[in-house]
Structure 1
Amino acid sequence: MSVDRRRQIIDAATKSFSMFGYKATTMDQVAKLANVGKGTIYTFFKNKDELFHDIVSVMVKEMILEAEDAINPDESFGENVHAALYRILEFRSEHQLMLKLLQEEKEMGTLAVLEMLNHIENQIIEYLKTKIETAQKKGLIREADSEITAFLFLRTYIALVSDWERRHKPLSSEKIAEVMKIYILEGLSK
């Protein structure tokens, strides 16, 4: 029974955070949406921050699973990095909670949201770092600082997908893969 209540609370809080953002979500709203007393929430979660962190942790796991599903062992490292990053950014652009968090951070600069977005980015970088280290051990790519490389992969990909579109025609998935291959995977040296 308590698992059902906990699930109700998480579902209701996810809905509330997705609709109203972190700052505007109250435990009273969550209780009302979950059809439970406010005290019931506190039997499972110490406060709003803990509830928020729990929800975002699940979302990050879902995002990583999406990336893993995109990986094809028959493809090259570069193609798999592209596929995984594409899936992660697709998830980010379609997941209502993620969209609301990005909007709230941009418009209001809510500290808890900024910290959570940094946490999400760090988790993505950590995921990429493990993939890079595996590729390095297999001799698929040269040795380099895996964390910096992961950071560059993620930031470059985000820049090509979203920042580029602000001033130019959006790049196709194939063009992004080509640019990542030329500038990141192969480098500029001949």
Structure 2
Amino acid sequence: MAVDRRKLIVEAASKSFALFGYKATTMDQVAKIANVGKGTIYTFFANKEQLFQEIMNNLIHEMKMVAEEVVDPNLRFFDNLNRVLDKLLDFREEHELAIKLSQEVREINTQMALEGVQQIEKAVVGYIQQQVKKAVDKGEIKPCNPEITAFVMMKLFIALTSDWKKTHEPLEKSQVAEMLQFYLQEGLAP
């Protein structure tokens, strides 16, 4: 059975980026972890940036699959929204690369790490945007700008699940779901 060197390189690079971050990962480290010569990496990837982008593409694909797993076509839009956002936040908080990139951005603000974090956010907003469009088409929600709406939904969810607990007692998942429904579905008007 032939060894898939490209796959070995991508797996090794994923480990290295997750352990050391973007800035501290070198092609020498990746070659060592993959047990290939450094030149072998360059037969598949022109540079570290290209290799990193391959890993980010895989991460985003994995996130979309995780989101799709929890969507239930029999549920209403807001019920699915809460399930998807909850699952994606769990994924992001448990995935070593996402954690390391966020840490690297906070500590040393590496440009490529920042771009990686932004790609993750853009993918989440893009996924929610598609769901918003479907909900508008079904008449489940009012016509709106799907991209802005998706952005606000994601940011509100992050504010309730992550930012709130920095200075308050964390909200239970059911409380987050209630708040999303209250602010996004019912609104503040009497």
Matched residue pairs, number?
190
Mapped partners of 1:120, 1:98: distance in 2: 8
One-letter amino acid of the counterpart of residue 55, structure 1:
I
Identical residues among aligned pairs (%)? 47
Structure 1, gaps ≥5 residues long: none
Partner of 2:159: 159
SS at match of 2:187: coil
Partner of 2:15: 15
Q: What TM-score results when the alignment is normalised by the length of structure 1? A: 0.97
Partner of 1:126: 126
The answer on 1:60 being equivalent to 2:60 is yes
One-letter amino acid of the counterpart of residue 151, structure 1:
F
Structure 2, gaps ≥5 residues long: none
Displaced runs of 4+ in structure 1, greater than 6 A? none
Deviation at 1:185, TM superposition (A): 2.0
One-letter amino acid of the counterpart of residue 72, structure 1:
D
Partner of 1:44: 44
Partner of 1:177: 177
The answer on 1:189 being equivalent to 2:185 is no
Partner of 2:74: 74
Partner of 1:27: 27
Q: Superposition RMSD on alpha carbons, in Å? A: 1.1
Q: How does 1:106-145 map to 2 (within 5 A)?
A: 106-145=106-145
Deviations 1:44-64 (A, max 9, x none): 001000100100111111111
Deviations 1:10-69 (A, max 9, x none): 010000001000000000000000000001000100100010010011111111111111
Deviation at 1:160, TM superposition (A): 0.8
Mapped partners of 1:60, 1:2: distance in 2: 28
